[in-house]
Amino acid sequence: MALAPIWLGMAGLWVLLGVAGVAVFVLARANPEKDYTELASRTRTWVWIILALTSVMAMGDKAAIIFIGFISFLAFKEYLTLVPNRAADRRVFFWAYIAIPIQFWWVYAGYYGFFTIFIPVYVFTFIAFRLLLTGRTDGFIRAAGTLQWGLILTVYNLSHLGFLFVLPLSQSTQAGGAGLFFYVVFLTQFNDVAQYIWGKLFGRHKIIPLVSPGKTWEGFLGGLVTTVALSIVLAGLFTPFDVYFAAASGALIGVLGFVGDITVSAIKRDLGVKDSGRFLPGHGGILDRLDSLTFTAPLFFHFVRYFYG
């Protein structure tokens, strides 16, 4: 792992977090009548998130892949606590969980062929067959669909983040695969924040009010433009992209981050829950924090592999 750009990026995250902490403190002191408890809780949780990320990056690429696998496990486990299931389905959950370390072994070893087909082909087939062995046909489509969808969303899609660390590139970069990982994760999270801020400041026209009432065209477009601009600024440090590919990757992340966000929102609305869990105080659950990444990670990975792999 090339250290200089990554540690520059991590230092930048800590500076941003420090600024946010000071801002929350100032706001709370200046407006004592307002409740900033949730905002303060979000900021404290970000401390732990960035601390964990800093520790993992310090341990190297392989440790980062293992860490992403563990996060995928937590996200899948959280997903299974949300979706309705039959008693007979729980006997199949074991095999779905077994698929997680196997998927990340393909990532760890750099086996691109098995990595791309293991879950959507082999696990898809096996899960359907194993559900049939329960002898229950009532609710079969729902059981198979929710289980396979959960594996795709939380394991298969997120595993693309891990493969960025071992992806061979046609053009070498100072930051290597770790730089690509930092780039897509940071821009995805930044895009969420930017869309939220632009929406709060100028949002008037709702995009999909029945799915996510807070999302507006002004927030989406403002966040998209901001993310594209930042993607160009950061590309030289973390990627092999020229300015045009950097802008394209920023647009990809901005649009797909929005799609991932509202897709998980639709899942939660279908299940009648506000948050996917309580694992991250102020943020909700793992899926609440990773919703945008479930879509940006695989598309960004294949964008990089197609043009620079």
- Global pTM reads 0.91
Task: Provide the pLDDT for residue 137.
Answer: 82
User: pLDDT by residue (tens digit) across 26-56?
Assistant: 877 777 777 767 667 777 787 888 888 888 8
Percent of the chain at pLDDT > 90 equals 50
Q: What is the mean pLDDT of residues 238-259?
A: 95
Task: Provide the pLDDT for residue 2.
Answer: 47
Greater confidence (268 vs 29) lies with 268
Topology given in CATH for the domain delimited by 168-309? Tetracycline Repressor; domain 2 (1.10.357)
Sketch the domain layout of the chain as residue ranges. Answer: 1-59, 64-166, 168-309
Q: If pLDDT is split at 50, 70 and 90, which confidence band does 305 have?
A: very high
Read off the amino acid at residue 209: P
Task: Give the alpha-carbon dihedral of 255, 258, 262, 263, to 10 degrees.
Answer: 50
User: pLDDT by residue (tens digit) across 166-216?
Assistant: 998 877 777 788 999 999 999 999 898 889 888 888 888 999 888 888 889
